Structure 1
Amino acid sequence: MSRFNKEKVMPRYFAIAVVLTLIGLAVIFKAGYTMTVGRSYWEVVANRLKSDSDSVRPDRGNILSSDGQLLASSIPEYMIFMDFQPGDREDTAWTHKRDSVYYSKLDSLCCGLHDIFPEWTAEKFKERLEEGHHKKLRDGTTGARHWKIYPKRISYNTYCEVLQLPYFNLPKNKYGFHAEPFVARRRPFGSLAERTIGDIRSFEGGKDTARFGIELTYDSILRGQVGIRRKQKVLNRMVPFVVKSPVAGADIITTIDVGMQDLAEQALIEELKKWEASMGVVILMEVKTGNVKAIVNMRRGSDGEYYERFNDAISYRCEPGSVFKVASFLVAFDDGVIDTTYTIDTGCGIMQMHGAKMKDHNWHRGGYGVINAARTLEVSSNIGVSYVIDKFYGKNPTKYVEGLYRVGIGQDLELPIVGYAPPKIRMPNTKTTKRSDYWSKTTLPWMSIGYETQIAPINTVTFYNAIANNGKMMRPRFVEKIVKDGQVIYETHPEVIKERIAKPSAVKMMQTVLRHVVSQGLGKRAGSHSFQVSGKTGTAQVAKAGGYKSGVVDYWLSFCGYFPSDNPQYSCIVCLKKSGLPASGGAMSGAVFHNISEGVMAKSLKLRVEDARDSLSVFIPDVKGGNVKNAKFVLEQLGIHTGEMKFETTKSVPHQMPNTIGMGARDAVYAVERQGIKARVKGKGRVVRQSIAPGSRLKDGMICTLELN
């Protein structure tokens, strides 16, 4: 007989089912009520428990030179503040307790601040803090909410030291000390290539903005992607959690060579100071690739020193002067209207050109008389060039201007650097009412010698680079590759703008002429006894306020060329702007070109250190005491077997200062901090001095400063 009693069990099951059904309906009803009627209430509660989203800034990418040296990098900096009304204002008991703690720690706090920032006395810090503590606000309360403790930004290490001071080491939400982070852009080589590399300006709240150069052009790549972070209240604590992780920016590898950049900058500044010039530009470019290895932009400041204020190399358009004559004659060579043997009668150095006087620089000495086209460029005869161009293109000036664009001097380079200004070479136009665009009979002869046009130095050197490259014009390149996490994500390649700027025969003729300009013409100052140099001088008058008739004239002095002539590796342009005489592109700009070219060639001829080693000798680095395990690892990587080597060891005596003289920074810090005291490092290299004498008795809290050299 079955033990299952249907009459007793089924009512129980039914009762349980009814109860569960009612519970389910209650849950559904409560959820619906919460989603509708109680929605606004619970949203308020949720907002109290969860903070608004905060952006998490990614690490900005670095900018490096072509040989991997750091040109620009980001480091954190902080501004420190004090909130004198933290916590609940209504809690008077807590306010009194906080103030009592503040005043009990104030003197020791100010002394600690003085130790960290010795330029301010402890009394000055106390005065500063008390001023903020008693400041009256508009809402009638007393105590500044965001009072700046120190006016300058501080490094992360300094910030950590400040956090250890009395009162500042207490919770900021209760005691008020807080800081604002900033991203500071630092250039290890100072102002080297400053305008090309660019800069970052940081604002309140930690925001930063790229200002110019590569920093601005590649800002979206360097900046990375911002992350999102929120805080959730859990057990009366605000716990941060990341909603979206930040993505660090990529690194930019430039074409800049630090050694060449420094060489070009020093050579230019030396000449600028010698002649008290107001401005100078240098661009050094690789012939085959178009890689810009050095770019210098200097302007004189009010203190007489020179600074990079504008990227004049790519943006300063002006009348280029006699360096433009090469483009005029290349057009004539390419069109076949003349060759290097074509003779020109320059007379006594003065010639009438459509009612205006064209003069050679030696007109007061009787001029050059009859000379051929090659000699015309060698001595930079204004009459010779303008006569040829006016004779063969006077009736059809459009053909001449089209020829200038054909040979590339008027080419828009479309550079990926913010601020680039393309050339302005106007077409013949006699119908315009705009005076600067009007084409008169004198426009053509004066344009042929470098006036009536506006060209930046980067366009001129690109044109000369094409001549050195047998007629192939390369686009100037500033960035080689973009790297992320050690992987190349994008790589640029040398880009050809024009396969041929002129006929090969015309280019060969011009190469010969440019070599003669330096060897036997006005460009001798730019030459070298070690290798041949080719190039052209330029001297142009630039009117200041009041025009040429005011008698106040600046001179734009330039030399553009390439070296060595037989196998061109680099092209270079040097431009100087100065007031008054003497003014000579060959003597002044040519001198800078000479120093740069010899320095660059000397650098390329340097032998490696390994070539001077004696193969029978064994070189073993001097290993000081320290972390022997790490030292052995490094030596093994260098191919030096350490099995039988005896290492100098530093015996560690408890509470006694070790001798770190001669150690590297890492070993010295290791030896000091294993004694339980803090090490502070200054400089780089090996330890030459330590603030605590070897063998001294150590106490808790001591700091040993290690000076490296």
Structure 2
Amino acid sequence: MQNKTFNKRNLTSVVVFVMIISLVLTGRLAYLMICQADHYGVLARQIHERERSIKAERGKILDRNGVELANNKPVCTISVIHSQIKDPEKVIAILSQQLELPEDKVRKRVEKVSSIERIKSNVPKELADKIRESDLDGVMIDEDYKRFYPLGSLASKVIGFTGSDNQGIIGLEVEYEEYLHGMNGTILTLTTARGVEIENAAENRTEPVAGNSLTLSIDVNIQKYAEQAAKKVFEAKQANNVKLIAMNPQNGEIYAMVNYPEFDLNDPYSLGALSANGLTQKQKNDALNGMWRNSCISDTYEPGSTFKVVTATAALEEGAVKLNDTFNCPGFKIVEDRKIRCHKTAGHGMQTFVQGIQNSCNPVFMEIGGRVGSKKMYDNFRKLALFKKTGIDVPGEAGSIMHKLEAVKPVELATMSFGQGFQITPLQLLRAESAVINGGTLVTPHFGVSITNADGTVTKKIKYPVEENVIKKETSDTMKMLLESVVSQGSGKNAYIEGYEIGGKTATSEKLPRSSNKYISSFMGFAPADDPKIIAIVLIDEPVGTYYGGTIAAPVVKELFANVLPYLGVAEKPIKTEDDKTKTVEE
């Protein structure tokens, strides 16, 4: 009797336990079937769906007149689906032959058990159509786009290029990626449990959204003029490189930016003759990075005498000099224990401040730099934004390299006054000197002007910071007059164009170490002098033979302006007589 009672109790416990488990499982099943039906329905469909991407067309890049600088051409991506391949040897043979790929590489991907394997992307559409005619089971051909640059190497280091995934790598392509890239679409195809697509089954298709187009301030014609002038002097002087920037000083719109030699945007990984020299991978990478480098914004240098524009502006702003002040140049100036020479070793003798600018006399500028003093000099540098980057809309901009104020002693102040002992980028200098000649407005140099959607509607006008009255208008007017006299009567006469009033400043900067005898010849010019519509700077790196900026750099800007000023609609003026020029300077 005791055993029977014990067994009944055990049986009851088992029954209760089973009933509890059954209730839990039933509740869980009801929850999954009712509450989670939609969720698991989606998962079930996903198991029987294959997703393929439809690439979005990348937005165009256009110059200020609507000329295409970057566009797209149709290409295809070739893929294989293992479960659908019926004749793998035929697939391997045709794909390896048509795509010019090693057979073992194609075989490895064809035989790999996966939902889909990409064989090759960026296949020309004509070739893809030929493969499509072979009617190979398991071979998928999806349309794609490849970036195409109609003008080849034009402004290559500014525009940049995209990678195999059609995303920007350098230049404006990467800076404006969020606007240009677009949104990819998808194709969902129903498959069996084994991954075989079901014939005549409906496809779920999401159409791609094309990227927006970018309109630039670059003018293709001005860029071509600039590149032609840069190439000419590059070859004539056997230089390392030539940099040239042309900009509207009133609003910061860049018309042209040249880093010669440029490279082919449609073949950006080709090093030409260097490729055959047995370079290591690191050497090739370094060579490519050097080839792609936008030196106008990424490299700093000692500006030399073109910086005297800033020194003269600071002196006028601080009331440290008058136009009729006189200076004596014996060919050098003693500063503490240093004898710092003028470029004219015999000296310029007695001269006015105006003549000192026209002659680009170092002792004159050392004297007025000393009058201004280091603190006020640095205050004026800050007004002209020489301690910070310009904020240009391309990546890779470098900043200036300046002494700390407490480290600026008389010798450092003297050398800084004529553009040595510190480093800035060409664009920083051009921005500062734009403020000097445009009435005192500090602009932001830039390329991007507007964003346009696929319908041609402008969706965004790009705005940039502007700071007004960084220097007095009177100072600006005086500097324009002085710099015009440099071209009409002084060291910049090789930039003179009959019928136009050109302002400018020459420079010949000796590279470090000073004993290397290597130079950067440069010239900054603007026109018309009384109401500037364009400002340009050219730098010739390590020219062979004659290296003076007034001799070899000024003619480059002259050639550019001779083409560009009529193109911009700037009318010629009556030619001034020598008496008129002298009278203007004296006033």
Indicate conservation of the 8 Å contact 2:60/2:71, yes or no.
Answer: yes
Check whether the contact 1:446–1:452 (CA below 8 A) recurs between aligned residues.
Answer: yes
**Alignment equivalent of 2:522, drawn from 558, 574, 578:** 558
Aligned partners of 2:148 and 2:224: how far apart in 1?
18
Matches within 5 A, 1:430-509: 430=407, 439-484=408-453, 485-493=455-463, 497-509=466-478
Q: Do the aligned residues in 1 keep the contact of 2:237 with 2:543 (CA within 8 Å)?
A: no
- The 3 A distance-change label for structure 1 pair 140 and 586 is closer
Q: Which residue of 1 aligns with 2:339?
A: 357
Q: What SS does the aligned partner of 1:201 have?
A: coil
Residues 80 and 118 in structure 2, CA contact (< 8 A), matched pair in contact too: yes
The letter for the 2-side match of 1:326 is V
| Aligned residues between the structures | 516
The reply on whether 1:49 has 2:31 as its aligned counterpart is: no
TM-superposition CA deviations, 1:386-443 (whole Å, max 9, x none): 12212442xxx2121112222444454222321122333343124xxxxxxxx44311
Partner amino acid, structure 2, of 1:404: F
Q: Name the residue aligned to 1:597.
A: 561
Q: Is residue 350 of structure 2 the alignment partner of residue 370 of structure 1?
A: yes
Q: Deviation digits for residues 110-136 of structure 1, max 9, x if unmatched? A: xxx9xxxxxxxxxx9499789449968
Q: Cα 1:312–1:77, aligned 2, differ >3 Å: closer, same or farther?
A: same
Give the corresponding residue for 1:261. Answer: 223
- Contact 1:461/1:561 (8 A) holds in 2: no
* Residues 1:324 and 2:307 are matched in the alignment: yes
**Cα offsets for 1:273-332 (capped at 9, x unmatched):** 10011121111112332211111112488859x996221122221111110011011101
Where does residue 584 of structure 2 map in the other structure? Answer: none
2:495 aligns to what?
526
Q: For residues 308-707 of structure 1, what are the structure 2 equivalents within 5 Å?
A: 309-347=292-330, 349-363=331-345, 366-393=346-373, 397-410=374-387, 412-430=389-407, 439-484=408-453, 485-493=455-463, 497-543=466-512, 547-548=513-514, 551-578=515-542, 581-605=545-569
Aligned equivalents of 1:57, 1:201: Cα separation in 2 = 14
Whole-Å Cα distance in 1 between the matches of residues 75 and 110 of structure 2? 31
Q: Root-mean-square deviation (CA), in Å?
A: 3.8
Secondary structure in 2 matching 1:211: coil
Q: Is the partner of 1:344 in helix, strand or coil?
A: strand
Relative to structure 1, is the Cα distance of residues 573 and 35 closer, same or farther in structure 2, using a 3 angstrom cutoff?
same
Q: Of the candidates 181, 202, 212, which is equivalent to residue 223 of structure 1?
A: 181
Tell me the SS of whatever aligns to 2:214.
strand
Once the 2 structures are TM-superposed, how far is the Cα of residue 254 of structure 1 from its aligned partner? 0.6
> How far has the Cα of 1:534 moved from its partner?
0.3
3-state SS, counterpart of residue 129 of structure 2? helix
Partner AA of 2:175 in structure 1: T
| Structure 1 spans left out of the alignment, 5+ residues | 1-27, 89-93, 114-123, 431-438, 608-709
Q: For residue 584 of structure 1, report the CA deviation from its aligned partner.
A: 1.1
Of residues 222-231 and 279-288 in structure 1, the stretch that sits farther from structure 2 once superposed is 222-231
For 1:460 and 1:65, locate their aligned partners in 2 and report how far apart those are by CA, in whole Å: 25
Higher relative contact order structure (alpha carbons within 8 Å, sequence separation ≥ 6):
2
Q: Is the 8 A contact 1:344 1:373 kept in 2?
A: yes
* SS of structure 2 residue aligned to 1:497: coil
Contact 1:63 1:254 in 2 (8 A): yes
Separation (CA, whole Å) in 2 of partners of 1:382 and 1:197: 39
More helix by share: 2
Query: Which residue pairs with 2:76 in the alignment?
Result: 78
The farther-off stretch of 288-297 and 273-282 is 288-297
Taking the aligned partners of 1:292 and 1:526, their CA distance within structure 2 comes to 21
Secondary structure in 1 matching 2:399: coil
Give the match's secondary structure for 2:410. Answer: coil
Question: Normalising to structure 2: TM-score of the pair?
Answer: 0.78
Task: Assess if the C-alpha contact under 8 Å between 1:382 and 1:449 holds in 2.
Answer: yes
Counterpart Cα distance in 2 of 1:600 and 1:480: 21
Give the AA of the match of 1:582.
Answer: T
Change (3 A) 1:542 1:482: same
Q: 1:316 to 1:146 in 2, by over 3 A?
A: closer
- Tell whether 2:247 aligns with 1:285: yes
CA distance in 2 between counterparts of 1:42 and 1:29 reads 19
The offset of 1:185, in angstroms, is 1.2
| Deviation, structure 1 residue 140 | 11
Query: In structure 1, what is the Cα distance between the partners aligned to 2:224 and 2:443?
Result: 24
Check conservation: 2:54, 2:142, Cα contact below 8 A: no
Residues 184-263 of structure 1 correspond to what in structure 2 (within 5 A)?
184-202=146-164, 207-233=165-191, 236-237=198-199, 239-242=202-205, 245-263=207-225
Q: CA deviation at 1:506?
A: 2.0
Corresponding residue for 1:120?
none
Distance 2:565 2:272 in 1: 35
> How far apart are the structure 1 equivalents of 2:340 and 2:434?
30
Q: Secondary structure at the match of 2:440?
A: coil
* Whole-angstrom CA distance in 2 between matches of 1:285 and 1:217: 20
Asked whether the 8 Å contact 1:398–1:427 carries over to 2, the reply is: no
Distance 1:33 1:352 in 2: 94
Residue matched to 1:700:
none
Task: Provide the rounded CA distance (Å) in 2 between the counterparts of 1:229 and 1:565.
Answer: 61
- Once the two structures are superposed, the pairs formed by residues 292-303 of structure 1 within 5 Å of their partners are 292-299=254-261, 303=273
**Cα gap change, 1:528 to 1:102, in 2 (>3 Å):** closer
CA distance in 1, matches of 2:474, 2:35: 90
Displacement of 1:81 in angstroms is 6.6
Structure 1 contact 298–308 (Cα < 8 Å) conserved = no
Deviations 1:123-159 (A, max 9, x none): x949978944996899999xxx8766xxx94322342
* CA spacing shift, 1:218–1:125, aligned 2, 3 Å: closer
SS at match of 1:557: strand
- Looking at structure 2, the residues matched to 288 and 140 of structure 1 have their Cα atoms a distance apart, in angstroms, of 62
Cα 1:302–1:553, aligned 2, differ >3 Å: closer, same or farther? farther
Kindly indicate whether the alpha-carbon contact (under 8 Å) linking 1:297 and 1:308 is maintained by their aligned counterparts in 2: no
Would the aligned equivalents of 1:299 and 1:309 in 2 still touch at CA under 8 Å?
Answer: no
- Which amino acid in the other structure matches residue 225 of structure 1? M
The secondary structure found in structure 2 opposite 1:444 is helix
CA contact (8 A) 1:79 1:154 kept: yes
Q: Work out the percentage of aligned pairs sharing the same amino acid.
A: 24
- Superposition deviation, residue 602 in structure 1: 2.9
Which residue identity does 2:48 align to in structure 1?
A: L
Structure 2 Cα separation of the partners of residues 38 and 360 of structure 1:
87
TM-score by length of 1: 0.65
Q: After superposition, what is the alpha-carbon deviation per residue over 1:649-703, rounded to whole angstroms, capped at 9, x for unaligned? A: xxxxxxxxxxxxxxxxxxxxxxxxxxxxxxxxxxxxxxxxxxxxxxxxxxxxxxx
Distance 1:552 1:225, change over 3 A: same
Aligned partner of 1:64: which letter? L
